[in-house]
Amino acid sequence: MLRMAEEIKIVEQESIQVKSPNVVIGLPDVGLVGLIATMHMIETLKMKLVGYIESRLFPPVIVLHNGEIQSPIKIYAKDKNIAIVSEIPIPSNAIYELTDALIKHIKDWKPAQVILLHGIPVPNRLNLEEVKTYAIGTDDETKKIISDNKIEHMDTGVIVGLKAIFLWESIKQDIPTIALGAESFLEYPDPGAAASVVEALNKFLHLDLDVEALLNRAEELRVRMRDLMRRTQESMRGTQPVRELELPPMFG
């Protein structure tokens, strides 16, 4: 059923006035690379929470940071940089709608570039001394930026999920977008991969985000992320659709 409730709302609590900003997007997919890397950027730069995204297409989740109640999908800004980060996986039935909403909203910002951070699943991750970083550009301009920064272009491959549609729409709607990914574990939070992504991000945005710091926090992050996700998952239990309503395991 199509309901108002199912719309996606992007709210700027403080209207964003930056001219041609850099927009970084991090979602918790493969290895949680995008989430970890973007979080690190936000924390290191002490970016300011300026907005959030909400929709009833998302699971009923809120998060707490420093005692503040927040949407799990937030917008941060500082100087010329804007970061959009999600702490919950995007449900497949919201991917197209959320992409449309993001594209429409970001377009109004007239971004210098949009950078999607993500992980590239590789089976042999465990054996990799160092992980490779690859970038995808949606137009000549972004491709030149990638080359100038000596990041390897992703030549062949498959991109799936929101970032796939985002890249596709970027081309169609003339948004200069770069997908920046590093080889990563599929099923484990991968701060190492995130570090490589941050390293590349530093070049693109002329930043100096401390990669060492991220690596030193790797173990802590791994635990924190696992925990974040475990809590979410655990808390999700017991809210089944009514047609298949079943009571929590305890009552079995």
Within residues 135-154, the interface with a copy of itself by CB under 8 A covers 136, 138, 143, 153-154
Least distance from a copy of itself to the Cβ atom of residue 139, Å: 10
Q: Is 127 in the site for a copy of itself (CB under 8 A)?
A: no
Which residue from 156, 155, 136 is spatially nearest to 145, judged by alpha carbons? Answer: 136
- Rounded to an integer, what distance in angstroms lies between the CA atom of residue 191 and that of residue 184? 9
Angle at 33 between CA 29 and CA 39, to 5 degrees: 110
What residues between 54 and 83 interact with a copy of itself by CB under 8 A?
Answer: 54, 56-67, 69, 71-72
33, 185 Cβ separation under 8 angstroms: no
Which CB, 81 or 118, lies closer to a copy of itself? Answer: 118
- Rounded to an integer, what distance in angstroms lies between the CA atom of residue 69 and that of residue 75? 14
Least distance from a copy of itself to the Cβ atom of residue 86, Å: 12
Edge-to-edge order in the sheet of strand 73-78: 8-12, 48-55, 73-78, 81-86, 22-26, 113-121, 177-184, 133-137, 152-153
What residues between 79 and 118 interact with a copy of itself by CB under 8 A?
Answer: 87, 89-96, 99
Which CB, 216 or 235, lies closer to a copy of itself? Answer: 235
Q: Is 233 in the site for a copy of itself (CB under 8 A)?
A: yes
- Rounded to an integer, what distance in angstroms lies between the CA atom of residue 102 and that of residue 145? 23
Which CB, 113 or 138, lies closer to a copy of itself? Answer: 138
Which CB, 62 or 213, lies closer to a copy of itself? Answer: 62
The residue within the footprint of a copy of itself, chosen from 17, 19, 108, 251 (CB under 8 A), is 251
Alpha carbon separation from 210 to 42, 163, 166, 199, 214 (Å, rounded)? 12, 26, 28, 9, 7
Give the x/- contact pattern for a copy of itself in 197-226, rule: CB under 8 A. Answer: -----------------------------x
The residue within the footprint of a copy of itself, chosen from 23, 24, 25, 29 (CB under 8 A), is 29
* Structure tokens belonging to residue 154: 């992703």
What residues between 156 and 175 interact with a copy of itself by CB under 8 A?
Answer: 156-162, 164-165, 167-168, 171
Q: Which amino acid is at 175?
A: I
